[in-house]
Amino acid sequence: MSEVHPTDVGSTRVRVVLAVMLLAVGYLGAKLWGIQVAHGEEYRDRVYQQTIRRVRMPGFRGRILDRNGVSLAENRPSYAVALYPNEFRQRGGWSNTINAVQEKVDELSDLLGKPVQISRRDIRAHISRRLPLPLLAWRDIGETSMARLAEHQISLRGVDFYVEPVRVYPQGDVAAHVIGYARGRRDNDDSWPPRDDQGRFHFYLPELRGERGVEKVYNDMLAGEAGGRLIRVDASGYVHTLSDDDVIGSERPPSRGDDVYLSIDVDVQRYAEECLANVAGAAVVLDPRNGDVLALASSPRFNPNAFIPTISTADWTVLTSDPARPLLNRAVSGFYPPGSTFKPIVAIAALQNRLVETDQQFNCPGYYQMGTAQLKCWIYRYNKGHGLLAMRKAFEQSCNTYFCEVGVACGYEPIFYTARAMGLGSATGIDLDGERGGVLPTPDRIRSRGDICNVSIGQGVLTVSPLQMASVAATIATGGKLYRPRLVTRRRQAGDGAVVNIPSELTQDLEWSRLTTDAVRYGMLDVVETPHGTGKRAHLDGIRMGGKTGTAEYGRKGDDKKRGWMIAFAPFDEPRYAIAIVIDDAVSGGITVAPLVRQLMQRLLFPFGGEIIVPQETQG
């Protein structure tokens, strides 16, 4: 039996080990070849996609301008100091990093000479939600503060300057309820973060969104198209610039939104707002020829600049808790009994349906008798009545008794359908938020003679907005042509600069008879132009004007609180302006509001001044 030499055994073992090692190396090489060569592109794309973050960059808002191109809302650059929190990363828990960021903020505060604007909670929230993005520590610091910071030879690692567009309203509180305001999106917005055709954005930069008025209604048009860019983030959260070799490293810059031109004339708007100084009320000026809204004023007002970039909690509390409700747009969202300004509608209903003649007389003893109850005419307070009078004189004197007689003779249904055809009981369709239709009671709700009388003199459950009554005045001025109030006349497209006109819209031509039109229009002429008309305080020397005053009680019975109304149009023969003004806590429409109509019409028709004859006082 032969013996195996130990040297041979050792050699075999070495060969086996070498073989195993070669096989292992070969296997590893094959796997590496498969990963790096055969499937390298696939794995590289996966890693690339995992480290790429899509950042949304908001579009630049377009401008809002008046009909003559005067800027009402625009943008300006705002310089902000930004910190990249991931550049201050510290070992240990996140609190160490938060401390480091806080220390840098305190250091910069001393250099800028500005108080700290962000809290520790803000820093923590930013790190947890959007670590790779810059944290805006100060907004709108101005060029002087930027220069002070640049003068100091300190380490600015992790500090950068960020320029963001800020909304500004050059006219201050003028037309505030029309323009509205825009402010930053909130983190709890259900529609945020947004998506585009490529999917969800990982991060987004601050964006303004219209919250009220034109800013809200035309937000999509004004906002422009958002852009985007890609950033590479490593496992630790640090941002790396994408190289030119990165296939997906393209950037799509944001675009500017369209400019929107309003029908508002900023000068006319100022005139209307001057009439409402120190009172609660609303004023509307329309062009009866096409429905253009030349002024839409509500008082009290607010300054939309207070919302930029965000409104403080204290200021918001002041606005929302003010009993005068400065945020309420009374011109479109305030609804009031119209008082005697409703009487022309009653007259039109009766005349068009041939239920009353223009020369038909009714006797006014100072009240209208309804069984054992009496509905007083305003002249009753002087222990007398108007006596026998026909329609034209009834307009001049705003006789309640006469229009109760007409309303009962007519019945409510013709009044209802006439009022509805003139736009009452439904929204006008103006492109503003918050508009409602008011209340025009249906025939089944007006059952008794007393109900008909109340509606016939503009009282009871009937409510209207100042915009609706301005539209009524414009319709009467044109003899029955009802236009939808037009607030936006055109827009300029940001892309090619093309101007897109928005035409006026004639919603109805009511085709009143010449008898009806003349009776109502000349009755309204007498209201202003005769010595005893209830609206004679609105008279302007050198111009003829048609109008109708109104007074409506509100509040609890016995408070003796009244709202004063007046609707008017001028010049009488070729009307260019139709007006409605309502004032809270008025003496009457004739005493309180008619002088305001005169003041406004004077500015519109005689902008360079002139002698005005002041008529004697009359109730109405």
410-433: pLDDT as tens digits: 999 999 999 999 999 999 999 999
Distance from C-alpha of 480 to C-alpha of 503, rounded to nearest angstrom: 20
- What percent of the chain is predicted at pLDDT more than 90? 53
pLDDT of residue 64: 97
> β-strands 135-138, 71-83: how paired?
antiparallel
Max mean pLDDT range (150-159, 305-314, 377-386): 377-386
pLDDT-based confidence at residue 2 (cuts at 50, 70, 90)? low
* Rounded Cα–Cα distance for residues 200 and 191 (Å): 12
pLDDT of 111 > 90? The answer is no
Sign of CA dihedral 324, 325, 329, 334: negative
At position 371, the amino acid (one-letter code) is G
Higher-confidence position of 158 and 405: 405
Q: In 398-513, where does DSSP find H-type helix?
A: 400-410, 412-421, 449-456, 466-477
Q: And the tokens for 100? A: 């480091």
Q: What is the pLDDT of residues 457-485, one digit of tens each?
A: 999 899 999 999 999 999 999 999 999 99
309 and 139 Cβ atoms separated by less than 8 Å: yes
DSSP classification of residue 337: -
8 A C-beta contact, residue 171 and residue 125? no
| Confidence category of residue 48, pLDDT binned at 50, 70, 90 | very low
- How confident is residue 515, by pLDDT bands cut at 50, 70 and 90? very high
pTM equals 0.82
Residues 6+ apart with CB under 8 A from 52: 230, 231, 232, 233, 248
- The DSSP annotation for 269-284 comes to HHHHHHHTTTS-EEEE
**Dist CA 69 CA 548 (whole Å):** 34
pLDDT at 104: 87
619, pLDDT greater than 50: no
- Angstrom distance (rounded) from CA 412 to CA 355: 12
Bridge partners, residue 229, by sequence: 55
CB-based contact 544:524 (threshold 8 Å)? no
Kindly report whether the peptide bond that precedes residue 571 is cis, defined as omega within 30 degrees of 0. yes
- Show the domains of the chain with their CATH numbers: 53-258 (3.90.1310.10), 266-605 (3.40.710.10)
Name which of 74-88, 469-483, 497-511 the model is least confident about. Answer: 74-88
Q: Which residues 6+ apart lie within 8 Å of 58 measured at CB?
A: 204, 205, 206, 207, 208, 223, 224, 226, 254
Compute CA 233 distance to the chain's CA centroid, rounded to the nearest angstrom.
40
pLDDT at 126 over 60: yes
Query: Which stretches of 197-249 are DSSP H helices?
Result: 213-217, 219-223
Residue 620's pLDDT band (boundaries 50, 70, 90)?
very low
Dist CA 83 CA 619 (whole Å): 68
| pLDDT greater at residue 366 or residue 52 | 366
Could you tell me how far CA 541 lies from the centroid of its own chain? 38
- Local structure of 130: helix, strand or coil: helix
328 or 616: which carries more pLDDT confidence? 328
Q: Are 256 and 224 in contact (CB under 8 A)?
A: yes
Predicted confidence at residue 125, as pLDDT, reads 87
* Strand partners for 568: 547, 579
Pick from 59-63, 251-255, 531-535, 591-595: least confident: 251-255
Which pLDDT score is estimated for 55?
65
Residue 115 confidence class, pLDDT cut points 50, 70, 90: confident
- Considering 108-117, 155-164, 372-381, the range whose residues carry the highest mean pLDDT is 372-381
Q: Which residues contact 203 (CB under 8 A, 6 or more apart)?
A: 53, 54, 55, 56, 130, 132, 133, 193
Quote the DSSP letter at residue 540: B
**Considering only CA atoms, which of 544, 570, 579, 394 is closest in space to residue 469?**
579
551 pLDDT more than 50: yes
- Residue 408 one-letter amino acid: V
Helix (H, G, I), strand (E, B) or coil at 260: strand
How sure is the predictor about 504, in pLDDT bands with cuts at 50, 70 and 90? very high
Residue 245 confidence class, pLDDT cut points 50, 70, 90: very low
E strand spans, 85-126:
none
